[in-house]
């Protein structure tokens, strides 16, 4: 049997109300301390034609949001590979003026609040 997505949705809504009720549940999280967390995501934005070459490119966006202030950093990129991912993180930290969770060192803290020790060039903890 074939049905359109909208017909199927109506059938589910009428015959399985508990399933549609579950999809409307919002789970609230505990409040977090400002500066202790950043939320990161990326996604496909669409196609772009380079006016210089005429070549079509897929455009991706890296997004970092500070949940307390809702301030957002967005960086569009042509390739979302490991290099672009790392560069986007560094640019976001520069944009926000530091590392999320940074309390005493240039390295972010663990969830427990314990900072990673600074390490010298020879790899020994200072």
- Provide the number of structural domains found in the chain: 1
End-to-end CA distance of the chain: 69
Question: Whole domain around residue 75: which residue ranges?
Answer: 34-117
Q: Is residue 82 part of a domain?
A: yes
Of 88, 93, 96, 100, nearest in space to 61 by CA? 88
Would 23 be classed as within a structural domain? no
Query: Per-residue pLDDT tens for 15-65?
Result: 887 777 776 777 777 777 777 788 899 999 899 999 999 999 999 999 998
Query: What percent of the chain stands above pLDDT 70?
Result: 75
Give the residue, 119 or 100, on which the prediction is more confident: 100
**Does residue 74 belong to any structural domain of this protein?**
yes
Domain assignment present for 4: no
Domain presence at residue 69 = yes
- The answer to whether residue 29 is domain-embedded is no
The answer to whether position 50 is within a domain reads yes
Residue, of 78 and 96, whose pLDDT is higher: 78
Q: What is the pTM of this model?
A: 0.56
Which residues, 6 or more positions from 19, have their beta carbon under 8 angstroms from its beta carbon?
12
Q: Which two tokens stand for residue 11?
A: 């059938």
* Residue-level pLDDT at 116: 36
Sign of the alpha-carbon dihedral angle for 30, 108, 110, 81: positive
> What is the predicted pLDDT for the residue at 7?
85
Confidence (pLDDT) at 100: 60
pLDDT (average), residues 3-8: 85
Q: Which residues lie closer than 8 Å to 43 by C-beta, 6 or more apart?
A: 60, 61, 63
- 76 falls within a domain: yes
């Amino acid at each position: 049997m074939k049905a359109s997505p909208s017909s199927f949705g109506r059938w589910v809504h009428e015959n399985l109300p508990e399933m549609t009720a579950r999809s409307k549940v919002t789970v609230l999280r505990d409040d977090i301390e400002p500066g202790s967390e950043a939320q990161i995501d990326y996604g496909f934005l669409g196609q772009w034609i380079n006016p210089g070459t005429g070549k079509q490119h897929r455009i991706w966006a890296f997004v970092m949001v500070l949940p307390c202030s809702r301030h957002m950093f967005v960086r569009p990129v042509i390739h979302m590979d490991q290099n672009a991912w790392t560069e986007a993180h560094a640019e976001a930290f520069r944009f926000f003026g530091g590392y999320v969770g940074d309390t005493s060192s240039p390295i972010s803290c663990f969830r427990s609040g314990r900072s990673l020790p600074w390490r010298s060039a020879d790899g020994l903890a200072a």
